[in-house]
Structure 1
Amino acid sequence: MKYQNRKKALILLADGTIFYGKAVGGKEGSAFGEVCFNTGMTGYQEIFTDPSYFGQLMVTTNAHIGNYGANAEEIESEGIKISGLICRNFSYHYSRPAADEALESFMNRNKLLAISDVDTRALVNYIRDNGAMNAVITTEVDNIEGLKKQLAEVPNMEGLELASKVSTKEPYFFGKENATYKISALDIGIKKNILRNLANRDCYVKVFPYNASFEEMEAFQPDGYFLSNGPGDPQPLNDAIEATKKIIASGTPLFGICLGHQIIALANGISTYKMHHGHRGINHPIMNLLTGKGEITSQNHGFAISREEAEAHPDIEITHVHLNDHTAAGIRIKDKPVFSVQYHPEASPGPHDASYLFDDFLANIKKHKLQTA
């Protein structure tokens, strides 16, 4: 077996708890971040490259990671965004003909530290009981006290603005220039499959940096606006919140996903909060209150909006609810073409039950164009 003499490694949690493992491959060092877990059985490459995971140490609950390699078509951003990987069994060899390379080589090119041979069931149970917290994964197993001091200086996710770390620096275009519809999208951590879904629906998208003003996005003369997913706490994103208020006031269709959903809530005076350990996986059950139908969805978030405040808001209707913990998973503004959800209709990875939401967005755009023609 490759790397039979792998270095010892460990996970040190902020509360002092330690879990032991082995370094993946020959990489050494330490990686800091908030430890969280994803329950998906597949889709590890999409998860690792999802900007929403920036600053997080990812625990994969599937027992085998790397067994189907890596494929250049299955990335959701430019490079890996997680801070580190924690898994049970790491597969150095893969058996999928469509793979371009081994996951190990993909991770090495992106300088990702990973540890395996961890009792991930015990670790996930600990997170579920005690909540997501900062941690470090390291091969410096004899430097526990020094690592504790470094870990104490890592900022907590609550109150942390991270969208600027993953957003585009300059505007760019996606799709066909002669498409029927134009969309201004605010990149606060956007996934490529969102852009593909819009382009596949005859949209030409201009993607703007996280701090773009409404006036900058409006200058594109879009038929609709989109607020993306992304990492960190939504509350520090004052520029995005202010721009969203103006988008809503304009009456132009608006669609938000995940962090974008939280920004729409904040723009309407609805507060957000950090969850105990969040929702991360590809089998989360949602009830669509408008249709009475259930959906199995892909989710990745550690913050949520206040359901109580949303229910009390005279202009807001809750449209979707998470069936596990009854958190608000979707809202709409009653008298405007504005809606959002706290999950990923573009999937990648995950089921496509919620892809109709892109069609709903296009329906709002078509209706608005007819009304303003």
Structure 2
Amino acid sequence: MSTLTTTPGSAAGDQLAAPAAAPANRPADRANPTRAVLMLEDGRSFVGEAYGAIGETFGEAVFCTGMTGYQETLSDPSFHGQIVIMTAPHIGNTGVNDADYESDRIQVAGFVVRDPARRPSSWRSRGSLDDELAAAGVVGISGIDTRALTRHLRERGAMRCAISSTLADDSAVNDPAAGDSAAGVDEGGQSAALAALLDRVRSSPEMVGADLAPVVSTPEPYVVPAASGTAQFKVAALDLGIKRATPAAMAALGCEVHVLPARTTGEELLALEPDGVFLSNGPGDPATADYAVEALRTVLRADVPVFGICFGHQLLARALGFETYKLTYGHRGVNQPVGDVATGRIAVTSQNHGFAVRAPLTGVTDTPFGRVVASHIGLNDEVVEGLECLDVPAFSVQFHPEAAPGPHDAANLFERFRDLMAAARQARAAVAGGES
């Protein structure tokens, strides 16, 4: 196992190279921009301008309500396979830099903005977002009504879509007055080229049933050392799509974090003799990750403290016997209010999930691992946002306590995990002392 000696929290310990000044796959003539179209699987289309790379891409259309943090959003592995729509109109103002990447590359399948900044201004910026997307081969679209698109997704639900900037011969796309259309092919409102694009959208993979955690997980284990240099606790972190800020947050509390591939078994986790096991965020359908659920059950039977966030929260729920389901349009943004059931306090949280846990909001539920309660509830739609086990040392939250981007209202949950590991260590010492 290699040891990461760069700044704690850098998932791969590498620096991203600055893109070329004028990527070949990006239109250079802004006076005559390449037209692009966004096609939803229900037949609605939006015509705008190419942004980033020229090409065609497919994914699940989702919207993010954050006004800031676009670079962290783009590089969050939880967005793998998704075309992200930013509801804030002005995106790209601060350009791009190396410090704000949450993984070693841009993860989104496509990017949608209304009014992109063409001249970024920031002392940290090393280039424009447009150039960065083009260099990474990420196809995007700009100049469309992103709020109308968001309203449509809120009413109809998240769905598959495509962005194409390759339909150069299609008059419906190249007409500057085309705007957006709600007409489907069956209504005669689309050209043959757009109808063919719609067919490709409808034949693209769905998010339900998608096993994506192994795709974005680290291929090899690595270690993020404690920030102080002296480790007080050893954490085995299952990388299901972990962000750099997450191990950094634990390292700042004196934890040596062993980041492990998604398919690491329970026996392999326990072989590290960790003080605690952490389950990260990640993309895809939690119902496909039975390998991680079985590993987690092995850990729970060993009474090792467990903390799960986002995708990891959903996997803990499934390990306990609860089901997960797909939300209509998901929670994505840095302004999601969550209520703490025990204290009554409200935290504004950073969230990025399209699936949720089906569990009782009130009362105690008996599971194969003892009693469980819902610890946090989403205030917008009463989604279960946290679980607490009363008989084994395990808890989880659906949101991101490390933020990146977003508020730090829930950062204390890492301290709670540290305290849980300390209590478990004391309990083991007491048992060992009683047996001697």
SS in 1 for 2:312: helix
Question: What amino acid is aligned across from residue 219 of structure 2 in structure 1?
Answer: K
| Cα-to-partner distance string for 1:290-310 (whole Å, 9 max, x where unaligned) | 111110000000000003388
Q: Deviations over 1:28-60 (max 9, x none)?
A: 211100000000010000000000000000000
Equivalence for 1:241: 293
1:19 and 1:198 mapped to 2: Cα distance?
A: 43
* Superposition deviation, residue 184 in structure 1: 0.4
8 Å CA contact 1:84–1:137 kept in 2: the answer is yes
Tell me which of 206, 220, 224 is aligned to 1:170: 220
Q: Match for residue 357 of structure 1? A: 413
Matched with 1:306 is: 358
Residue 91 of structure 2 is aligned to residue 103 of structure 1: no
Of residues 144, 147, 150, the one that matches 1:118 is 144
* TM-score, normalised with respect to structure 2: 0.83
What amino acid sits opposite 1:7 in the alignment? T
1:2 CA displacement: 6.5
Tell me the residue number matched to 2:252: 200
Report the Cα distance in structure 2 between the residues aligned to 1:122 and 1:49, rounded to whole angstroms.
25
Taking structure 1 as reference, are residues 237 and 309 closer, same or farther at Cα in structure 2, changes over 3 Å only?
Answer: farther
Q: Aligned partners of 1:30 and 1:304: how far apart in 2?
A: 30
Paired residue for 1:317, among 369, 373, 376?
373
Question: What is the match of residue 241 of structure 2?
Answer: 189
1:166–1:188 Cα contact (<8 Å) kept: yes
- Equivalences for 1:32-181 in 2 at 5 Å? 32-141=58-167, 142=170, 143-176=193-226, 178-181=230-233
Is the 1:87–1:117 Cα contact (8 Å) retained in structure 2?
Answer: yes
Gap regions ≥5 residues in structure 1: none
CA distance in 2 between partners of 1:199 and 1:106 (Å): 30
Runs of 4 or more above 4 Å deviation: 309-312
Aligned-partner residue type, residue 151 of structure 1: V
Deviation of 1:312 after TM superposition, in Å, equals: 6.2
How many angstroms apart in 2 are the aligned matches of 1:311 and 1:193?
A: 34
Q: What does 1:240-319 align with in structure 2 at a 5 Å threshold?
A: 240-308=292-360, 313-314=365-366, 315-319=371-375
Q: Is the 8 A contact 2:360 2:374 kept in 1?
A: no
1: distance between equivalents of 2:29 and 2:51?
A: 10
The residue number in structure 2 matching 1:13 is 40
Residues 361 and 384 of structure 2 are in contact (CA less than 8 Å); yes or no, is this contact kept in structure 1? Answer: no
Is contact 1:24-1:115 (8 Å) kept?
A: yes
Partner of 1:366: 422
Deviations 1:48-97 (A, max 9, x none): 00000000000001111111111101011110000000110111211111
C-alpha separation in 2, matches of 1:322 and 1:310: 13
Task: Give 1:326's aligned residue.
Answer: 382
- Matched residue count: 372
- The answer as to whether partners of 1:10 and 1:21 remain within 8 angstroms in 2 is yes
Instruction: Measure the CA separation in 2 of the matches of 1:52 and 1:294.
Output: 25
CA distance in 2, matches of 1:68, 1:266: 40
Give the % identical residues.
41
User: Could you tell me which amino acid in structure 2 is paired with residue 78 of structure 1?
Assistant: D
Structure 2, unmatched stretches of 5+, are 1-27, 171-192, 430-436
- Shift of the 310–188 alpha-carbon distance from structure 1 to 2, 3 Å rule, reads farther
**In terms of Rg, which structure is larger?**
2
Aligned counterpart, 2:20: none
Q: What's the offset of the Cα at 1:107? A: 1.6
